[in-house]
Amino acid sequence: MKIHLAKLATIHRSSRQMATESNSDECQKKSQKKLANFPKLADLGYSSERLKEKIPELEVYLQSILNTKQLREDIEVLSFFEVSPMSFKSRLGSSKLKEGFVKKLPRSIPGCMTRPCCLFCTTGCWKKRWLVLKDTCLIYLEPYRWEEKLSKIAEQDCQTFDNPRANTLESNQERSRMTQIMMRGKHCWRICQIILMDKNFRFQFFHSNSAKSDHKLLIRNSHMRVFFEIHNQRSSDEWFHELSRVTAGDPASSFISTELNPHCSFVDGASLMYSVAKAIDLAQQEIFITDWWMTPELFLTRKPSSKIIRLDRLLQKKAAQGVRVCILLYKEIELALRINSAHTSRWLKSRHPNIHVIRHPHHFSNRVLLWSHHEKSVIIDQTIAFIGGIDLCFGRWDTPQHRLTDVPHDEEIAKHVDYEKVGSAGQ
């Protein structure tokens, strides 16, 4: 409790300083009126029973900070509440566990962490970052401190005034970027890395006997190993507790049953596309599609007794509902292939801004000729995935009768496989 009160005192000093440094006297008076009085610092020495009496007063004070926009976006306030732009992003994990400032050792520094002395190095190699723990990954970010950038730009302006040739395109772009940030009036963050919790995810803590403030954390998975420095023992214990809880591997927390075999095999394109259409229609957050060839005008369902669903209209409908649609297509060499990925990209992008299409690779600029994308996958909300060898394009829709034409007239199509019954496939 005393530690949290000490943090609040730091926030109070920071907020008062921000109000004092405000250019407008009217804004300064408004911020002082909105901000409630902070408890006296002498109260920090009282017993726990006496501190509990200060809880309502602290609640009023914290609410007054959150009601003031200028203070709500201050870095000290964000650090106290442990919130960042990643805190409430449900697509990156359903739980908000632990966040805070740490120091990270850049992986590009050669020789570091190869000797015992490097582990507790106190040089300037460590960079300040914001670490976020989700139930599926670790994310570290860099707060964009526009005050420091602004001072550097001011120095560059002085050099440009003395030497006009020093004015470069990069400095002009940075100045334009800073102007946009200041116009928005809010704190900006840069996502540095996302560390997935795969089957090889491990963590390890190192403590120095000579220095109580030296607490190092090693995170590694199948692709990387990253070192972090935690500033005190209490934060180190909190990180250890939360990481241990996440990596405990409780089977009940998984959305997939561990007792069944939750997969199903499709033979014909008709049953696959029927299930893909139903899954896309249930999407709530994101749809990710990779194809070698994709035809936006493709009819996914063609059963006479059911509603006909066309791929581009279905994606447009979900994009209008706020679902993010990301598509990766193979960019063909037009002299050799006529799959017309340029038309697919233009047509889908014109349907809605939430539809994003990437064509890859750029053959001549990247010097890639004898290689192509052959992934065929449709992933819905990172929960349902269709992976196989059938593109969403013309000529892939087929039934057990193997008709010569795609559109049936009289006969009934074979019974479709419902992906909702996939869970019973393992029994």
pLDDT of residue 414: 43
321: amino acid identity, one letter: Q
Look at residue 81 in the predicted model and tell me its pLDDT.
Answer: 86
Query: Selecting from 3.30.70, 3.30.160, 1.10.540, 3.30.870, what CATH number does the domain 269-426 have?
Result: 3.30.870
Residue ranges per structural domain of the chain? 1-81, 82-155+183-254, 269-426
Neighbours of 259 (CB within 10 A): 9
User: To which residue do tokens 């020495």 refer?
Assistant: 45
Provide the total of helices (H) and of strands (E) in the chain, helices listed first.
13, 14
Task: Report which listed range, 91-95, 104-108, 235-239, 300-304, is most confident.
Answer: 235-239
Residue with tokens 């449900």: 90
Please give the Cα distance from 401 to 415 (Å, whole number). Answer: 12
46: CB partners within 8 A, 6+ apart: none
Beta-strand relationship, 355-360 and 377-380: unpaired
Q: How wide is the angle at C-alpha 379 spanned by C-alphas 384 and 132, nearest 5°?
A: 90
Of residues 348 and 168, the one with the higher pLDDT is 348
Whole-number Å distance between alpha carbons of 100 and 80: 9
Neighbours of 228 (CB within 10 A): 21
How far is 208 from 224, CA to CA, in rounded Å? 24
Residue 39 CB contacts under 8 Å (≥ 6 apart), including other chains: 5, 54, 57, 58, 61
**Strand spans (E) along 38-124:** 98-104
Instruction: Identify the CA nearest to 370 among candidates 342, 402, 336, 339.
Output: 336
Q: Answer with the residue of higher pLDDT: 284 or 161.
A: 284
In this structure, the number of other CB atoms found within 10 A of the CB of residue 224 comes to 11
> What pLDDT sits at residue 299?
92
Kindly tell me if the per-residue pLDDT of 136 is higher than 50.
yes
Please report the DSSP string for 178-228 in residue order.
HHHHHHHTS-EEEEEEEEE--TT-EEEEEE-SS-TT-EEEEEE-SS-EEEE
Contact 327, 291 (CB under 8 A): yes
Would you give the DSSP letter of residue 418? P
Contact 146, 178 (CB under 8 A): yes
Among 232, 346, 65, residue whose Cα is nearest residue 240: 232
> In whole angstroms, what is the distance from residue 2 CA to residue 412 CA?
74
**Edge-to-edge strands, sheet with 286-291:** 355-360, 324-330, 286-291, 377-380, 384-387
CATH of region 82-155+183-254, choose from 1.20.1250.20, 2.60.40.1120, 2.30.29.30, 1.10.510.10: 2.30.29.30
Q: Are strands 355-360 and 299-301 parallel, antiparallel or unpaired?
A: unpaired
Q: Are 309 and 349 in contact (CB under 8 A)?
A: no
- Tell me the pLDDT band of 143, cut-offs 50, 70 and 90: confident
| DSSP structural state of residue 396 | -
Which residues 6+ apart lie within 8 Å of 183 measured at CB? none
Do 297 and 311 contact (CB within 8 A), yes or no?
yes
Per-residue model confidence as pLDDT tens digits over 290-345: 999 999 999 998 866 567 899 999 999 999 999 999 999 999 988 888 899 999 99
Closest CA to 287 of 392, 195, 197, 389: 392
Is the pTM of the predicted complex or chain greater than 0.95? no
Please give the Cα distance from 187 to 143 (Å, whole number). 7
DSSP state of 54: T
Residue 357 pLDDT exceeds 70: yes
Residue 357 per-residue DSSP state: E
User: For 13-62, how does the pLDDT look when each residue is reduced to its tens digit (9 = 90+)?
Assistant: 655 665 555 544 444 555 455 566 666 655 555 566 777 777 787 788 88
Is the Cβ–Cβ distance between 218 and 225 less than 8 Å? yes
Calculate ∠ Cα 347-352-357, nearest 5°. Answer: 55
Measured N-to-C along each axis, helices 146-162 and 169-184 cross at an angle, to the nearest 10 degrees, of 140
